[in-house]
Amino acid sequence: MMQLLLGFFFLFSACSPSQTEDFGINVQTASSVTPDKVLIVYLSRTNNTKAIAEMIHQNIGGALVALELDNPYPQNYRQIVDQVANENATGFLPPLKTKIDSIENYNVVFLGFPTWGMQLPPPMKSFLNQYNLSGKTIVPFNSNAGYGIGSTFETVKAMAPNSKILEGFTTKGGIERDGVLFVMEGEKEKQVQEEVKKWLEKLQLIQK
């Protein structure tokens, strides 16, 4: 019986539009968040995470920055899966082409990424390793192929131990393995727009 209840719990967690554990939540009020202090950094291969980043930007403003690599990943899905698996196994952090000036000027940093192999993508690990986010408020957001966030949010917490980590947002995006790529259009786009707005209101980053 206990195993059945745990199974339901994990199924619910994987499908929930917003997820958090004990991330040291320290919610700010909307009046204390100004666009010039907000940075939205995202990694997106099929543009689903990019679409969420743009929805956040529409609601809260700020600087919108895509993470790019010095050496981009291959377009072939099987090749990128193998490369990322090797990077995760060896701890390799791919060098970033993206440079962010004066990151100390931002108080709130949104971090967007897909779930790759149930882990945080190596380029986002590179970002967290390269930039000092101590004392800042970090807000993670995620798209995935239906299996949830994996260890991604926990890794953000572990790599930014001196930051305040707010409740993250996640939604199902494409399934590149099956050839399902960009899905943030039509009714799906409207649904996610509403969920993003409610999430930001819950965090008191925007007003109702």
Pairing of strands 108-114, 38-42: parallel
pLDDT score of 25? 38
Confidence of residue 30 (pLDDT cuts 50, 70, 90): low
pLDDT score of 149? 98
Is the separation of the CB atoms in 206 and 30 below 8 Å? Answer: yes
Task: Report the alpha-carbon distance of residue 114 to residue 46 in Å, rounded.
Answer: 9
pLDDT score of 208? 86
pLDDT score of 31? 53
Sign of CA dihedral 100, 108, 194, 168: positive
Q: Give per-residue pLDDT as tens, 116-141.
A: 999 999 999 999 999 999 999 999 99
What's the CATH class of domain 2-202? alpha beta
Token pair 């572990």 is at which residue? 158
Closest Cα to residue 65, out of 76, 56, 74, 73? Answer: 56
Confidence of residue 33 (pLDDT cuts 50, 70, 90): confident
How many other CB atoms sit within 10 Å of the CB of residue 34?
A: 13
Q: Is 208 or 99 the better-scoring residue by pLDDT?
A: 99
For all residues of the chain together, what is the average pLDDT? 89
State yes or no: pLDDT of 28 exceeds 80.
Answer: no
Percent of the chain having pLDDT more than 70? 85
Report how far apart, in Å, the C-alpha atoms of 183 and of each of 142, 147, 174, 176, 186 are. Answer: 14, 16, 6, 11, 8
Q: How far is CA 74 from the centre of its chain?
A: 21
How would DSSP label each residue in 4-32?
HHHHHHHHHHHH-SEE--S----PPPGGG
State yes or no: pLDDT of 15 exceeds 80.
Answer: no
pLDDT score of 21? 39
Closest Cα to residue 28, out of 109, 105, 111? Answer: 109
State yes or no: pLDDT of 5 exceeds 60.
Answer: no
Looking at this protein, which amino acid is placed at residue 192? Answer: V
pLDDT score of 20? 41
